[in-house]
Amino acid sequence: MDFNALEIGFVSIVLVCFIIQLLYYWIVLARPYSYMQSIVDEKLFSSAKYPPVSIIISVKKSGIDLLRFLSNILEQDYPTFEIIVVTDEISSDDEETLIRLKNQFSNLYSTHVPEDTRNISRKKLALTLGIKASKYDKLLFTEPDSLTHSEYWISSMIRHFSDKKTIVLGLSAFENANSLSQKFMAYDYFFSNLQMISLALFNHPYAGNGRNMAYTKEHFIEQKGYVKHRILKQGEDDLFINEIASGKNTAVELSANSVILTEINDFRDWKCHKIDRMSTQRFYKRGPVAFWRFETFSRLVFFAALISCFIYCAPYESMQDFLFPGIALLCFIIRFSSQLIVMNRILERLQLEKFYITILLFDLFQPLINLYFFIYRLFKEKENYTYRYENR
């Protein structure tokens, strides 16, 4: 057989990237599944293992169903917990709902962000007010656009606290994905959360999701709140965890009971979430960022070499012409099968909707979409900073 250097080069690149991709999926991204297999869900609790908890929630004016959201949290099966809601320009209807629920539940409290507050992120101020008003040392965070998956959310998260483990990271996922665009948003959101959780399980935590995470009040006091990144509007969750988390003090909670479900409202909300993450990502620890960028790079090179291999070996006039494309196609099939197995096993264990053939499309376009948001963020840089910073 007579092969030229270019043909050998393309198939070699396919094979190298194929091996790299399999290592990412079967070693790193599969880690949550093996972790879940080793954990036994505990629904019975004792006051010693499940200490009192303060749940901190920032509620800004929006179209959320506040009654449904707070009822979902208040109905949690847990011995002692309080809910502190910090409002920011909410509607009169939401105010009435909050007052009615406070009269009904003695463990529900509320305060509000002053209307004339400037020169600081209102979200960070809201959370600061809530944390300072909290009675308990264990702090649990979520957001009003989300719902718990079960009545054991609090107990599932708090069971990991110990003398050594003072941070707990949970998982959040989108629900009600109907259209193709919504399914892509759900895939992208789940994949980014899976990346965060996977490295945390390898003792390299680098970020947290504000919809589902917990830490002790001591961390907040030690860091002097969000002062290190006060010029940014974002970062109250991921950057704060990036600063305080280590392999020794961070635990991961992964179970169907602990998942927080977020309904996909529209493209604009998802876009805001993506831009927020792009704005804060450059402040992350360098190692995890480089690690996942290399995954993206190897993925894109794999697809580029795969396509090049098929194009260059055309027009397929002999059996020899089919050899390298056949090897490339086999690599593609094995990689795709690995994605389906790893992702769907985790989704099934978490009782979430699975992905199938759409992964092929999402997997290719996700890096391109991320590139778009990266460039978009560069042109909207000033919008990521507080008023004071913009007027220096």
pLDDT band of residue 313 (cuts 50, 70, 90) is confident
List the beta bridge partners of residue 84.
56, 109
Domain assignment of residue 274, yes or no: yes
- Domain end call among 280, 312, 328: 280
Q: At 348, which helix (H) or strand (E)?
A: helix 320-349
Tell me what pLDDT residue 307 has.
Answer: 93
Residue 158 above 50 pLDDT? yes
Residue 192, pLDDT > 90, answer yes
If asked whether residues 292 and 257 sit together in one domain, one would say no
Maximum Cα interatomic distance, the chain, rounded to a whole number of Å:
83
Residues 157, 125, single domain; the answer is yes
Range of weakest confidence among 220-229, 252-261, 305-314: 305-314
Asked whether residue 386 is domain-assigned, the answer is no
Whether residue 38 lies inside any domain: the answer is: no
Number of domains into which the chain is organized: 2
The pLDDT assigned to 320 comes to 65
Higher pLDDT, 302 or 235: 302
> Do 125 and 177 share a structural domain?
yes
Instruction: Indicate if 54 and 121 belong to the same structural domain.
Output: yes
140 and 188 share a domain?
Answer: yes
Which of 216, 251, 280 is where one domain is finished?
280
Q: Residue written as tokens 């979200």?
A: 123
Domain for residue 389, yes or no?
Answer: no
* Domain stop point among 280, 305, 329: 280
Average pLDDT over residues 272-285: 86
Q: Are residues 184 and 242 in the same domain?
A: yes
pLDDT for 392 beyond 60? no
| Within-domain flag for 264 | yes
56 and 99 assigned to the same domain: yes
Confidence band, pLDDT 50/70/90 cuts, at residue 391? very low
The reply to whether 310 falls in a domain is: yes
The answer to whether residue 74 is domain-embedded is yes
Do 104 and 98 meet the contact criterion of CB atoms below 8 Å apart? no
> Has residue 35 been placed in a domain?
no
The CATH number for 241's domain is 3.90.550.10
How far is Cα 262 from Cα 143, in angstroms, rounded to an integer?
9
Are residues 261 and 178 part of one domain? yes
Residues 251 and 168 occupy one common structural domain? yes
Domain span holding position 315:
5-29+288-380
Of 69-83, 208-222, 287-301, 307-321, give the lowest mean pLDDT range.
307-321
Tens of pLDDT along 20-31?
A: 999 999 999 999
For residue 264, the model assigns a pLDDT of 78
Lowest mean pLDDT among 185-189, 289-293, 322-326: 322-326
Question: Which residue has tokens 């198939």?
Answer: 11
Let me know the angle formed at the C-alpha of 253 by 251 and 259, rounded to the nearest 5 degrees.
150
67 and 155 co-located in one domain: yes
- Is 228 in the same domain as 257? yes
24 and 73 share one domain: no
CB 283 within 8 A of CB 235: yes
Q: What is the chain's mean pLDDT, rounded?
A: 89
- Mean per-residue pLDDT, 60-89: 91
